[in-house]
A and B are shown apart, each in its own frame.
Chain A
Amino acid sequence: MFAEIGLLALILAFLTACVQAVLPMIGAERGDRRLMALGSRAAITQFILIAIAFGALTISFIQSDFSVKLVALHSHTDKPLLYKISGVWGNHEGSMLLWVFILSVFGALVPLFGKMLPESLKTRALAVQGLIGAGFLAFILFTSNPFLRLNPALVNGNGLNPLLQDPGLAFHPPFLYLGYVGFSMPFSFSIAALIEGRVDAVWARWLRPWVLLAWSFLTIGITMGSVWAYYELGWGGWWMWDPVENVSFMPWLVGTALLHSILVFGKRHSMASWTILLGIAAFSLSLIGTFVVRSGVLVSVHAFAVDPTRGVFILALLVLATGGGLTLYALKAHTLRGTPRFEALSKEGGLILNNLLLVTATATVFLGTFYPLMIDIFTNDKISVGSSYFDKTFGSVMFILIAFMGIGPLVKWRKDSFANLRVHLLVSLIIIIIVSVLTALIGKSILGGIAMGLAAYLAFSTLVAFGRKIGFGKGGIRRLRAQPAQTYGFLLAHLGIAIFMAGVTAMSVWAKDDAKVLKIGESMQLGGYEFTLASVTSGQRDNYSYSSSMVKVSKKERKVGTLKSEIRQYPNYGRDGMGTTEAGIQVRPMRNLYVGVSKGKDSESFVVRAYVHTMVVWIWVGALMMALAGFVSLLGRPLGRRRKTRGAA
């Protein structure tokens, strides 16, 4: 019964979205207040209806209603409750429902938080949101209906892919979508502002919290994916430059550029074109991501059940949304306030350079991701672009960006001179040299040294910039509390990048791994540690059987810890069941110990893979600091209310 309610709710939501897309826009053109008011009402109605549909699907999963085809394909009575629920979005149809649900949440928040917006702008933006919602609801209803019935119903389901039965991965899609779909807001508002011909600082200041929100959630979502890959895939990789990872990273890069543009635009009234184009680009990249994941166009570990016909539909949506947006931009670009000439050495110039470099970085990732497809189309050759390409090219671009990141915040807005910066640059150079040399000597790596030196320089420069904003020494705590939240946001975010970079460098240069065949009681050496295979036992638990190994680790005779790793076999999943590895990990600030044990050639020998992961947690600490920075910056800008500011920063 719930499935039918859900389907009905979806159909009604689709109709509501159509109304929301058309009538308010007409109302805005004509100045008809009643039609315009429909926008807000439709948005809230759409949200309620999709919430009902989502709830209906969730109940079907919780109740293990196997007469619903989706539940039968992806769930099982043995599954723990948490994974019954997360199974709702652990498949193509359910995740699309989650997608439109989050879209409707954002749409419904506009009437709630947008009371001080000009009515016509708000209405037009809601109309665009409605249009996007209508498009995706149509996609769901016509190609990806989650409420299809199965007759006769199965006695029990196929089970959820064991890889997905994991807390990290259960919540990775919701956070990711809050980010992805959150960028629909700058998109809708960019379109609305273009139509109105009113792209101004008020618009930018209103939009900024939404960009921050989407960006912060996306940061968390991507980080969760990375952490999950690290402990689940069995060999400690935290980023594989897999196409699906890349398409979630590109909106993040563009989102970062958008964030900085909106900052400039809100204050200095320049960079209008940048802000509009980046606003359109961020959501377009999200749409391209949705396309890539579900169409089978690129080879990826992440791909959902691939289906070229679904791909066609999403491509059509992409063409309409982005094509429409860019056409509008082409027509209305002349109404946008131009950016006055900027000084080469100025904060304005610096932020423009920042955008250029971030766009270059995005283009690099894009090039590597889509190159195999392009070559295939033009020459029928097949090539692969693996992670080392991205490490080299993207790494180089980021290296340059980080070098400028240290200077940028210290430069004056309008025009600065080298003389002012000379002291800082000199001190920075000294720091870089000291850190580089020390690191290179201790760690025996020149590259590692230089990279660490750069990270130290960024941290130092950020602290100096923060210190200057506070004003060294005068007024102490009072000054700290008087800072707008975004100063702390800046501090956290840029320090976060420095820490992130240190972690990435350490992992690239100093991580160690080895694999040996051992019998119980035997040991292997790695990185100064001794790994001894102590015991291997087997058993049964929940919905899987396991083989559990204990590996004792010691350093210079002193016991460091015991790592437990498991291989699990899930018999209920798929045709022949499926196995997963749970690595044994010891987490420490400066290094993780990581171990995976699998069966060897006979019942007495085992393949033991040991890893020493230097400073790997710094990667995620840095990333989470950036996400935190986004949320902190939100605190200083209550939506709608204007704060008494103490002049331009």
Chain B
Amino acid sequence: MNISLKALIPLAVFAALCIALAIGLTKDPSELQSMMIDKPFPEFSLPNLHGEGLLGNEVLEGNVTLVNVFGTWCAPCAIEHPVLMKIEQTKAVTLLGVNWMDTRENGRDWLKKHGNPYTYTLSDKHSSLVQALGVAKAPESFLVDKTGRIRYKHTGVITLKAWREVIEPLTQKLEAET
């Protein structure tokens, strides 16, 4: 067999490429980086979905909060919602809802229909908080510690498994922090 090293180069390059493409199949190219981890939760002043007036960052103070971005137009959010209702019942964490790109009326109606697990709900019709959080798709959730810093981001639907295995233990850890 008379193989020169030079003749093997195209094959070697191709092999490397195929490995990369194969790995690429397991990844989601449009998934965004988590830029906000360990950063303070953005300043906001948004209308209360229920009742009058504006809500600001004071609703996060002193609690470990699970901030959940949802919309009436978002099908996976409806799938996620029962899990959030269960999480609310455990009283392990405070829930803050961010109703994205809906009128207040539509948002209220949707929560009436699906249940309301949130202590407070913000109405973010024009994506001002959503943009500050670097959110592109719903549902997306953030775990915020007592000092108002974002410690964890969950993209997509929160399953019971994700809650039990990842989010709940982290919540307990954050609760223990002074």
Q: Residues of A at under 8 Å CB distance from B?
A: 277, 284, 288, 291, 295-299, 308, 311-312, 315, 318-319, 322-323, 326-327, 329-331, 333-334, 370, 372-374, 376-377, 380-382
**The one of B8, B22, B31 that contacts A315, using a Cβ cutoff of 8 Å:** B22
* Distance of A288 Cα from B6 Cα, bound (Å): 24
Knowing A382-B32, A382-B33, the reply to whether A322 touches B14 (Cβ < 8 A) is: yes
Residues from chain A with Cβ under 8 Å of B11 in the complex? 323, 326-327, 329-330
**B interface residues, Cβ below 8 angstroms from A:** 1-4, 6-8, 10-11, 14-15, 18, 20-27, 29-33
CB of B20 within 8 A of CB of A373, answer yes
Closest to B19 in A: A377
Residues of A within 8 A of B25 (CB): 295-297, 308, 311-312, 315
Task: Give A519 to B20 CA distance when docked, in angstroms.
Answer: 54
A-B contact count (CB 8 A): 74
User: A297 — which chain B residues lie within 8 A by C-beta?
Assistant: 21, 24-25, 27, 29
Q: Which residues of B contact A334 (CB under 8 A)?
A: 2-4, 7
Provide the bound-state CA to CA distance between A376 and B33, in Å: 10
Contacts of B18 in A (CB 8 A): 315, 318-319, 323
Say how far A276's CB is from chain B's closest CB, in angstroms: 10
Q: Which residue of A lies closest to B27 (CB)?
A: A376
Question: Which residues does chain A contribute within 8 Å of B22, judged by CB atoms?
Answer: 312, 315
A338–B68 CA distance with the chains assembled, in angstroms: 66
Complex Cα spacing A482 to B3, Å = 47
- Asked if A326 contacts B14 (CB within 8 A), the reply is yes
A298–B20 CB distance below 8 A: no
A-B contact sample (17 more), CB < 8 A, given A308-B25, A333-B7: A295-B25, A296-B25, A296-B29, A315-B18, A318-B18, A319-B18, A323-B15, A327-B11, A329-B7, A329-B11, A330-B8, A331-B3, A370-B20, A373-B24, A373-B29, A377-B27, A382-B31
Shortest Cβ gap from B10 to chain A (Å): 5
Chain B neighbourhood of A315, CB < 8 A: 18, 21-22, 25
- Which of B3, B7, B26 has the most chain A CB atoms inside 10 A of its CB? B7
Residues of A contacting B33 in the complex (Cβ-Cβ under 8 angstroms): 380-382
Q: What are 17 contact pairs spanning A and B, CB under 8 A? A: A277-B10, A295-B25, A296-B25, A297-B24, A312-B22, A318-B21, A319-B18, A323-B15, A323-B18, A326-B14, A333-B6, A334-B4, A370-B20, A373-B24, A376-B27, A376-B29, A382-B31
Q: Give A65 Cβ to nearest chain B Cβ, in Å.
A: 30
Complex-state Cα separation, A374 to B25, whole angstroms: 12
Give the chain B neighbours of A312 by CB distance below 8 A.
Answer: 22, 25
Q: Specify the chain B residue showing the minimal Cβ separation from A382.
A: B33
**Complex Cα spacing A312 to B25, Å:** 8
Closest to A322 in B: B14
Closest CB in chain A relative to B57 CB, distance in Å: 28
- Bound-state Cα–Cα, A372 to B20, Å: 11
**Assembly CA distance A334 to B3 (angstroms):** 7
Given A291-B21, A315-B21, the answer on whether A299 and B4 have CB atoms closer than 8 Å is no
* Docked-complex contact A331 and B1, CB < 8 angstroms: yes
A-chain residues with CB within 8 Å of residue B2 when the two chains form the complex: 334
Q: Considering the complex of A and B, which 7 residue pairs feature the smallest CB-CB distances, nearest first?
A: A333-B7, A326-B11, A297-B24, A330-B7, A334-B2, A299-B29, A373-B24
Q: For B29, what are the chain A residues with a Cβ–Cβ distance below 8 Å?
A: 296-299, 372-373, 376
Q: Which residues of A contact B20 (CB under 8 A)?
A: 370, 373-374, 377
Q: Which residues of A contact B7 (CB under 8 A)?
A: 329-330, 333-334
In the complex, what's the smallest C-beta–C-beta distance from A578 to chain B, in angstroms?
16
Neighbouring A residues of B26 by C-beta, 8 Å: 308
* B18 → chain A closest CB, angstroms: 5
Most buried by B among A299, A311, A323, A326: A326
Q: Which has the most chain B C-beta neighbours within 10 Å: A277, A297, A318, A327?
A: A297
| Docked CA distance A48–B3 (Å) | 42
- Residue numbers in B under 8 Å from A330 (CB-CB): 3, 7-8, 10-11
CB closest chain-B residue, reference A311:
B25
For residue B134, give the distance in angstroms from its CB to the closest CB of chain A: 12
CB distance from B14 to the nearest CB of A (A): 6
Residues of B within 8 A of A277 (CB): 10
A279 CB to nearest B CB, Å: 12
Q: How far is the CA of A319 from the CA of B24 in the complex (A)?
A: 15
Minimum Cβ distance to chain B for residue A139 (Å): 15
Q: How far is the CB of A61 from chain B (nearest CB, A)?
A: 30
B98 → chain A, closest Cβ, in Å?
23
User: What B residues does A311 contact at CB under 8 A?
Assistant: 25
A295 to B28, CA, bound (A): 11
A299 cross-chain contacts in B, Cβ below 8 A: 29-30
Q: Is the CB of B23 within 8 A of A377?
A: yes
Whether the Cβ atoms of B4 and A333 lie closer than 8 Å is yes
Q: Chain A: which residue is nearest B7 at the CB level?
A: A333
Which residues of chain B have C-beta atoms less than 8 A from A323's C-beta?
11, 14-15, 18
Bound-state Cα–Cα, A540 to B138, Å: 35
Question: Which residues of chain B come closer than 8 Å to A296, judged between CB atoms?
Answer: 25, 29
CA distance A311 to B20 in the complex (A): 13
Measured CA separation A312–B23 after assembly (Å): 10
- A312 to B33 CA separation, bound complex (whole angstroms): 26
Q: Complex: how many Å from CA A8 to CA B167?
A: 53
Instruction: Tell me the smallest distance from the CB of A296 to a CB of chain B, in Å.
Output: 8
Chain A residues near B27 (CB-CB < 8 A): 297, 373, 376-377
A333 to chain B: which residues have CB within 8 Å?
Answer: 3-4, 6-7
Q: Give complex CA distance A573, B18 in Å.
A: 37
A326 to B32, CA, bound (A): 37
Question: What is the CB-to-nearest-CB distance from A643 to chain B, in angstroms, rounded to a whole number?
Answer: 35
Closest Cβ–Cβ distance, residue A368 to chain B (whole Å): 14
CA–CA, A91 and B12, complex, Å: 35
**A326 to B13, alpha carbons, bound, how many Å?**
10
Least distance between A366 CB and chain B CB atoms (Å) = 9
Provide the residues of chain B in CB contact with A327, threshold 8 Å: 11
Chain A's closest residue to B30 (CB) is A299
Residue of A nearest to B31 (CB): A382
Question: Measured between C-beta atoms, what is the minimum distance from A211 to chain B in Å?
Answer: 19
Residues of A within 8 A of B30 (CB): 299
A326–B14 CA distance with the chains assembled, in angstroms: 8
Cα(A377)–Cα(B28), bound, Å? 11
User: A312–B22 Cα gap in the complex (Å)?
Assistant: 7
Complex Cα spacing A311 to B23, Å = 11
Name which of A312, A329, A370, A377 has the most chain B CB atoms within 10 A of its CB: A377
CB neighbours of A319 from chain B (8 A): 18
Q: How far is the CA of A334 from the CA of B5 in the complex (A)?
A: 11
User: What CA separation (Å) do A334 and B18 show in the bound complex?
Assistant: 26
Query: Within the assembled complex, what's the spacing in Å between the Cα atoms of A308 and B23?
Result: 11
What's the least CB distance linking A290 to chain B, in Å? 12
- Residues in A with CB closer than 8 Å to B24 are 297, 373, 376-377
Q: How far is the CA of A545 from the CA of B20 in the complex (A)?
A: 46
Within the complex, the shortest CB–CB distance from A455 to chain B, in Å, comes to 34
